[in-house]
Amino acid sequence: MAANAQPSIAEQAQDVASKLATSVADTLNFADKQKEDVDKSGLPNLYIDEKAGSDTEGTGAELSPFATSLAAYQSLKPSPENDANPTSIVNLLIRKPDSVERNEWVEISTSAKKKLVKNISGWRKTEAKALAEGEKQQKEKAAQEERDRKRREEAQSVVLVDDDSKESKKTKIFAVPELVGSRVRINGWVHRFRPQKTNYFLVVRDGTAMLQCILSGDCIKTIDALDLTTESTVELVGTVEKVKEGQTAPGGVELIVDYWKIIGKAPGGSDAFEGRLTKETDASIRADLRHLELRGETATSVMRVRALLLRAFRDSFYKRRITEVTPPCMVQTSVEGGSTLFEFDYYGAPAYLTQSSQLYLETVLPSLGDVYCIQESFRAEKSLTRRHLSEYTHLEAELVFIQFKDLLDHLEDMICEVVDTLLTDPVSSEIIKTLNPDFQPPSRPFMRMDYRDAIKYLNEHGIKKEDGSDHVVGDDIAEAAERKMTDQINRPIMLIHFPKLLKAFYMQPLASAPDFTESVDVLMPNVGEVVGGSMRITDYDTLMAAYKREGIPSDPYYWFTDQRKYGTTEHGGYGLGVERFLAWLLNRWTVRECSLYPRWMGRATP
């Protein structure tokens, strides 16, 4: 091979093979040497170094000594008749710490031999005990298996009869407390169960409420009783009784079951429901298992209040003759700027998932008057904060023939009225009390703070910008600073009159200071901004100038611009983030807990 030439594949293979052969030969030599390591009378030598040796790693060779003579002896797997005289089968060579340098090995002394004999006897006793224990456990296991087998065999013959001749009323659990004394039939999932010798206590849920069910007699002798697991679906028939004095159960009643069966058995063992989600479960696994987490009490409670919250808003809108509409989610115009738009191909043309339905709400003011919608909005947020979702439920309203003060008053009224409704409702008030025991309904009037005063507040209270400098008028107040201020003030704040350049193109300028706008953000402690709203530009020319300023082509907005052409008027509105409002009300750490299947950057599963 030339000096600089690369070795051929065949040459490389030959080289590897020859290296391998040498290493195998070395290993064999070492093993032979160890085999040959015997004393004068032919007994094998085993080496022990208390300090440098190891009972777990050592082999007993000179280069790999044990740490104790007991381990050396045990390594020979000796029969008990050698225990009294271990050196009859092995020559034990000891190296003391002070003779390491000289590599001096001496035969085990008489006193050390005596100690070894004692240790061997101790080891034999421990071994015998472990063996006996193992056998005992084996026997117990076999006995248990036999008992289980017999129980199953017996259970096969216990068949409960669903007696048609006895009347039973099929009902949802929420209605059960009204049916004391009646025989009822319910279906549900086993939320918890506690098997006892003579009774099984089941807590069953059906989505409307929970019910404690008591099984006894033949009911706990069936195959289903043996197979029962949490989250199995069951059908139960029995008589409703009030719980005994001093005892508690959901709804104050319990079902004394006379017939029941499993409809769908959930797995037990390693796949059991209780093991899949625990307090220690990692957040990303929790997110993957959101469909199971939703069965938990906290998630269920949040979703229940969410439903009641939407209903309360709808009731309050209805009372005010504000009409619900359902604008499209697929759109071809942006509302809140291009940076958070989700774009998709719409039959070959670009389209977006809506960021806000506001512009569409504005268009129906002349036909329906005040309107609102509860619609999903989409934001391609590039950050992973605890208050940002990629898809959220946006409650938006648009009110006509109003002025800015009317908008603020309306917002305050709506928020307080909805909170009152939820605190009056027995279900939501109970949940609020459980999840947010310190919750106080906001006191009125809400603090109204001009943006310029907020800048002053931040500077006076040492709340700096992210780069450590003071805030100046014109700055966008970052999330952290906004939250610090809101938490310090610790009550709802209506932050008003933001600079024109910080806000969306459609906002009405302040008559007294046209660089600022008739805009409002409602800030809540712990969450920050829950509402964003404003008065809208009413004048055609001002709107055209606003498109131009923001670099937005006006053509795609022709339908929105027409509002200013065909009977313009003062109007304004707002958007409320439902998940943020819930996070505030129920003291949740993140808005992700307040969405059924939350979506955030990188997460659209399940």
Q: Which residues bind ligand 4AD (CB under 6 A)?
A: 335-336, 355-356, 358, 379, 381, 388-389, 392, 394, 396, 529-533, 573-577, 579-580, 591
Q: How far is the CB of 359 from ligand 4AD (least distance, A)?
A: 8
Question: Of 206 and 362, which has the nearer Cβ to ligand 4AD?
Answer: 362
Whose Cβ is closer to ligand 4AD: residue 53's or residue 532's? 532
Q: How far is the CB of 506 from ligand 4AD (least distance, A)?
A: 8
- What the block records as the tokens of 390 is 């990629």
Cβ-contact 586, 302 below 8 angstroms: yes
Give residue 315's Cα distance to chain centre: 32
Distance between CA atoms of residues 202 and 211, nearest Å: 8
Judged by CB, which is closer to ligand 4AD: 219, or 399? 399
Complex with ligand 4AD: residue 388 or 564, whichever CB lies closer: 388
Cα–Cα dist 255/176, whole Å: 9
d(CA 182, CA 166): 11
Find the shortest distance in angstroms from Cβ 156 to ligand 4AD. Answer: 56
> In angstroms, what is the minimal distance from the CB of 340 to ligand 4AD?
7
3-class SS of residue 134: helix
| Residues 543 and 319: beta-carbon distance below 8 Å | no
Tally of CB atoms within 10 A around 457: 16
Q: Which long-range contacts (CB under 8 A, 24 or more apart) does 33-38 make?
A: 34/59, 34/61, 37/61, 37/62, 38/91
The CB-of-178 to ligand 4AD minimum distance in angstroms stands at: 40
The DSSP element (H or E) to which 262 belongs, if any, is: strand 253-264
3 state SS of 198: coil
Nearer to ligand 4AD, 306 or 388 (CB): 388
The rounded distance, in Å, linking the Cα atoms of 574 and 554 is 23
- CA angle 524–525–526, rounded 5-degree value: 115
Cβ 528 vs Cβ 583: under 8 Å: no
Shortest Cβ 145–ligand 4AD spacing (Å): 55
**At closest approach, how far in Å is the CB of 513 from ligand 4AD?**
21
Shortest CB 574 distance to ligand 4AD, Å: 5
Residue with smaller CB distance to ligand 4AD, 173 or 578: 578
For 232-257, give the secondary structure using H, E and C. CEEEEEEEEEECCCCCCCHHHEEEEE
Q: Which is nearer to ligand 4AD, 212 or 357 (CB)?
A: 357
- Write the secondary structure of 405-457 as one string of H (helix), E (strand) and C (coil): HHHHHHHHHHHHHHHHHHHHCHHHHHHHHHHCCCCCCCCCCCEEEEHHHHHHH
Residue 201: CB minimum distance to ligand 4AD, A: 42
Length of the chain: 606
Q: Which is nearer to ligand 4AD, 171 or 357 (CB)?
A: 357
Bridge partners of residue 61, in order along the sequence: 64
- Of 224 and 518, nearer to ligand 4AD (C-beta) is 518
> How many other CB atoms are found less than 10 A from the CB of residue 521?
22
Q: 324 with 361: CB under 8 angstroms?
A: no
Complex with ligand 4AD: residue 158 or 502, whichever CB lies closer: 502
Strands 342-346 and 233-242: unpaired
| Helix, coil or strand: residue 291 | helix
Closer of 205 and 580 to ligand 4AD (Cβ): 580
Shortest reach from residue 522's CB to ligand 4AD, in Å: 7
Give whichever of 379 and 500 is closer to ligand 4AD, judged by the CB atom: 379
> What is the nearest approach in angstroms of ligand 4AD to the Cβ of residue 284?
19
Nearer to ligand 4AD, 251 or 532 (CB): 532
Nearest to 388 by CA among 599, 605, 533, 587: 599
CB of 530 to ligand 4AD, least distance (A): 5
Minimum gap (Å) between residue 541 Cβ and ligand 4AD: 22
**What gap in Å lies between CA 392 and CA 381, rounded to an integer?**
12
